[in-house]
Amino acid sequence: MWYCAHAIFYFEFKHEEQDSYLVHENVYLIQATDEKIAMKKAIEIAKENEDLSEDDHLELNEKPVRYLFSGIRKLITVSNYNKEDKDVIESGIEATYSELEVDNLDQVKELSKGSFVEVLYRE
């Protein structure tokens, strides 16, 4: 079975306080026999992608940062339309989804264009 793991990462300044955090949601495709094993694999992969290095090569706004794994936000079973071979990933399947809420149709259209809009991230 295939899963999509939504891993949350954030940037933390090394040498000063911060009043907001830049967050990334990275989605990993995981093959596992069940959800428990998929979650374990997802956490292992995400932890490998942290950047905890002590040199100051990673910067945000010209300030040294760490790139830290916060947790797996959700684990989604990949819809698989190939009923004969469930291990085959094909073009066009739904790998993952997110559920958002906005205040009006104009915001829906702006979001569709890739514009910045205020959203409620539901799932």
The reported pLDDT for the residue numbered 106 is 94
The shares of helix, strand and coil residues in the chain, as percent rounded to the nearest 5, are 20, 35, 45
Please report the sign of the dihedral spanned by the C-alpha atoms of residue 61, residue 65, residue 71, residue 75: positive
By mean pLDDT, which of 9-13, 26-30, 80-84, 105-109 is the weakest? Answer: 80-84
pTM assigned to the model: 0.84
- Let me know: does 111 contact 100? Beta carbons within 8 Å: yes
The reported pLDDT for the residue numbered 79 is 79
Please report the sign of the dihedral spanned by the C-alpha atoms of residue 96, residue 100, residue 106, residue 110: negative
pLDDT in tens, 17-39: 998 899 999 999 999 999 999 99
- Residue 44: pLDDT above 90? yes
Q: Where are the alpha helices (DSSP H) in 3-115?
A: 35-48, 105-112
The reported pLDDT for the residue numbered 82 is 59
Residue that the structure tokens 């026999």 belong to: 33
The reported pLDDT for the residue numbered 81 is 57
Q: Helix, strand or coil for residue 56? A: coil
The reported pLDDT for the residue numbered 12 is 93
pLDDT in tens, 50-102: 988 778 788 888 889 999 999 999 999 997 655 666 667 788 888 888 889 99
> How far is the C-alpha of 75 from the C-alpha of 28, rounded, in Å?
10
Residue boundaries of the structural domains of the chain: 2-98
